[in-house]
Amino acid sequence: MSKHIFVTGGVVSSLGKGLTSASIGMLLEKRGLSVRMQKLDPYINVDPGTMSPYQHGEVYVLDDGSETDLDLGHYERFTGSPLTRDCNYTTGQIYQAVINKERRGEFLGQTVQVIPHITNEIKGVIAKLGGPSVDVVITEIGGTVGDIESQPFLEAIRQFALDIGKENCLYIHLTLVPYLKAAGELKTKPTQHSVGQLRQIGIQPDILICRTERALSRDERAKIALFCNIPIEAVIEERDKEFSVYEVPMSLVEHGLDELIVRKLQLKAGPPDLASWRELLHRLRNPEYEITIAVVGKYSEHRDAYKSIYEALDHGGIANNAQVRIQRVHSEAVEREGPERLLSGVDGVLVPGGFGERGIEGKVDAVRFARQRGIPFLGICLGMQCAVIEFARNVIGLQGANSTEFDKDNPHPVICLLDEQKTITDKGGTMRLGAQPARLVPGSRTALCYDTLEISERHRHRYEFNNAYRQQFAAHGMQVSATSPDGKLVEVVEIPGHPWFVAVQFHPEFKSQPTDPHPLFEGFVGAAVARHLSRSERQTKAEPADATERKKPKPFEHPTRS
Ligand code: GLN
């Protein structure tokens, strides 16, 4: 039988429960255990797909096409645990399932209630992840203890231990221990209250992980332990990490978390093999180059809106011995101030995905700037569509070219609705979603990056390149370098005459890991490093640097995913 770990959060939101859960998953895997990971979100939307990035941050897409919480991105970057739509449930989905059962008459005349019907449904989705080949299921409960919305989930995980035996379950609670400058002290009271709330509903946490900006003294840990009714060794400090999120697992190991979990759940685990993770941190701490990449989007003020893209850029940096400084540029600022002022000093420009017309002209102008100045460019989904619009207008001369998403009646609809989308009216879960195969054109820059001709990448869009214009684009120097296997859908375009200009209809950022960087991010950051070097050489009036001479680290020996 699988063992279950439940991760809850208290005091405030945004404590990094996702990162902590992912780190626990990674540490258990590194001890040879097989782990499945899951997030239960208390909001009523069926999935985050219909939510604005301002509300929710990035929507993370899985191979199976499910649109999920961004914490699943942490799970995939830290672990090799396979993720499917069973790994993210919301209150909306739980209620939808229960109501559907009621309509089918499955409750045989009963009054349908939160307890037991909703809680049974929740327990069912938790149990579903377990199985004979799974040692540990880690279930993260979204929200903060004390929220009305999360109560059914907390009640369900309380009952879960009754069903399968307390010895098979572990409750880990993540809290904040704030430092009050005026008092010059760390304050443990919010943690005491938060644990008090958990205990009121019948959950006694086994382990407390305390987020803090300063080290917890033994006395402070002893005080928390006493008031929260747990042994002192189960009060684990998690200090803020300014340098990299990939440090979190190591600091948890230093404080004995993995050992404690293994002991408390009586897991048959080996010692942790952290060599590749140590090497990763070593590379992160010792970059040879520092480059700047501008990410030009319309949600650039929101830290989490392009989360996986920022992470994948870091991974591209790791592969190239470079620290990537990300300059978040608002596309509407490009419209107001022009690209020259905002993008002149950067080594690469990335235009990410998005929806709706706002800020589009700024993105198109950023593409033009990168194309004309020979700045390495990576366009992703909407970013690819902007690259196509820009090329149509400014190179082919198709005035007013646009996507029908922004201008239905434009004279040159170079981006138009996918055929399969034309009759769809519902917004939720109806895009072209999830992993789709693509065939690369031999000899293209894209094929060189991937080093293979068959790929599979994740999609999330309704519009596509309009095939009626393919010939004109090719004749003017923008090549199609990947299509769907039947050749009908354009998946990648590139400009062979440019130092590095690749734009993709899919989302490569969802398949990048720190120890297995995505080839396109590796290639893009590599080109940005080359530009950076040749610019600094020019400034010192020496010979231009030869990009191929650069020292690049060897690939990792133990990628967590093949
Ligand atoms: N809005 C565009 C479409 O639906 C691009 C989507 C995206 O960037 N994810 O096709």
The CA–CA distances, whole Å, from 40 to 55, 93, 175, 394 equal 17, 10, 18, 47
Run of H or E residues at 3: strand 3-9
Mean pLDDT, the chain, rounded, equals 93
520 Cα: distance to centroid of ligand 1 (angstroms): 19
Q: Is 355 in the pocket of ligand 1 (CB under 6 A)?
A: yes
Residue with tokens 């890991």: 513
Between CA 222 and CA 230 the distance in angstroms is 9
pLDDT at 425 over 90: no
- Look at residue 535 and tell me whether its pLDDT is greater than 80: yes
Dist. CA 7–CA 464, nearest whole Å:
40
Helices H / strands E in the chain, number of each: 19, 23
The confidence score (pLDDT) of residue 561 equals: 46
State which ligand 1 atom lies nearest to the alpha carbon of 415. 10
Predicted pLDDT of residue 210: 96
CA dist., res. 198 & res. 178, Å (int): 19
The C-alpha atoms of residue 42 and residue 90 are separated, in whole angstroms, by 6
Ligand 1: nearest atom to the Cα of 507? 9
Output the CA 51–ligand 1 centroid distance in Å. Answer: 14
525 CA to middle of ligand 1, Å? 24
- To test the pocket of ligand 1, the residue of 50, 463, 466, 491 to mutate (highest count of ligand atoms within 8 Å of its CB) is 463
Type and span of the H or E element at 436: strand 432-440
What backbone torsions phi and psi does residue 433 show, to the nearest 5 degrees?
A: -130, 140
Q: Which whole-number Å values give the CA distances from 270 to 32, 35, 297, 369, 399, in the listed order?
A: 6, 14, 45, 53, 64
DSSP character at residue 142: P
DSSP assignment of 513-536, as one string?
Answer: BTTB--HHHHHHHHHHHHHHHHHH
* pLDDT value of position 558: 58
**pLDDT score recorded for residue 544:** 47
| 207: pLDDT strictly greater than 80 | yes
The two structure tokens encoding residue 427: 């917004």
Average pLDDT over residues 294-315: 93
Question: Cα-flanking dihedrals φ and ψ of residue 58, to 5°?
Answer: -65, 145
Buried/exposed 363-382: b ≥16 CB within 10 Å, e otherwise: bbbbbbbbbebebbbbbbbb
- C-alpha 330/C-alpha 295 separation (Å) is 8
- Asked if residue 405 has its Cβ within 6 Å of ligand 1, the reply is yes
Does ligand 1 come within 6 angstroms of the Cβ of 381? yes
Question: What is the Cα–Cα distance from 509 to 35, expressed in whole angstroms?
Answer: 23
Atom of ligand 1 nearest to the CA of 352: 8
pLDDT at 541: 60
> pTM of the full predicted structure?
0.93
Q: What are phi and psi of 31, to 5 degrees?
A: -100, 15
Euclidean distance between CA atoms 348 and 352, whole angstroms: 13
Q: Is the CB of 297 under 6 A from ligand 1?
A: no
Report percent pLDDT > 70 for the chain.
98
Residue 551 has pLDDT above 90, yes or no: no
How far is residue 406 CA from its own chain's centroid? 27
List C-alpha distances in Å: 206 to 5, 338, 528: 10, 55, 48
Distance 353 CA to ligand 1 centre (A): 6
Query: Is there an atom of ligand 1 within 6 Å of 187 CB?
Result: no
Atom of ligand 1 nearest to the CA of 383: 8
Selection from 143, 37, 532, 78 nearest residue 308 by Cα = 78
Residue 60's nearest CA partner among 80, 36, 84 is 84
Radius of gyration of the chain (CA): 25
Largest CA distance in the chain: 85
Instruction: Give the per-residue pLDDT at 330.
Output: 96
pLDDT tens-digit profile of 497-527?
Answer: 999 999 999 999 999 999 999 999 999 999 9
The number of the ligand 1 atom at minimal distance from the alpha carbon of 353 is: 8
Q: Which distant-in-sequence residues (6+ apart) come within 8 Å of 155 by Cβ?
A: 114, 115, 119, 201
User: Where does the pLDDT of residue 552 fall: very low under 50, low under 70, confident under 90, or very high at 90 and above?
Assistant: confident
Extract the tokens encoding 69: 């919480």
Q: Is the CB of 421 under 6 A from ligand 1?
A: no
- CA 192 and chain centroid, separation: 32
How many angstroms separate the alpha carbon of residue 421 from the centre of ligand 1? 12
Query: Is the pLDDT score of 347 beyond 90?
Result: yes
Tens-place pLDDT, residues 50-97:
888 888 889 999 999 999 999 999 999 999 999 999 999 999 999 999
Pocket test for ligand 1, best of 50, 61, 355 (most atoms within 8 A of CB): 355
Tokens found for residue 477 = 């120097």
* Pairing of β 88-90 and β 454-461: unpaired
Q: Is 282 exposed, middle or buried (0-12, 13-18, 19+ CB in 10 A)?
A: exposed
Q: Identify the residue whose tokens are 């960087």.
A: 517
Token representation of residue 295: 């990410």
Which residue, by CA, sits nearest to atom 1 of ligand 1? 355
Q: Are 334 and 366 in contact (CB under 8 A)?
A: yes
DSSP string for 99-139: HHHHHTTTTTTPPP-IIIIIHHHHHHHHHHH--TT-SEEEE
Q: What pLDDT does residue 562 have?
A: 39
Output the CA 557–ligand 1 centroid distance in Å.
36
Tens of pLDDT, residue by residue over 108-129, are 899 999 999 999 999 999 999 9
Tens of pLDDT, residues 353-377: 999 999 999 999 999 999 999 999 9
Do 107 and 121 contact (CB within 8 A), yes or no? no
Nearest CA owner, ligand 1 atom 8: 353
Catalytic positions are: 381, 507, 509
Pocket flag, ligand 1, residue 462 (CB < 6 Å): yes
Write the pLDDT tens digit of every residue in 213-249. Answer: 999 999 999 999 999 999 999 999 998 877 899 999 9
Q: Which residues pair with 327 in a beta bridge?
A: 294
Ligand 1 atom nearest residue 464's Cα:
10
Q: Using an 8 Å Cβ cutoff, are 560 and 513 in contact?
A: yes
Q: Could you give phi then psi for residue 315, rounded to 5 degrees?
A: -65, -40
How far is it, in rounded angstroms, from Cα 75 to Cα 413? 39
Q: Range with the lowest mean pLDDT among 271-275, 302-306, 409-413?
A: 302-306
Q: How confident is residue 418, by pLDDT bands cut at 50, 70 and 90?
A: confident
Q: Whose CA is nearest to atom 5 of ligand 1?
A: 382
Q: How remote is the CA of residue 45 from the centroid of ligand 1, in Å?
A: 20
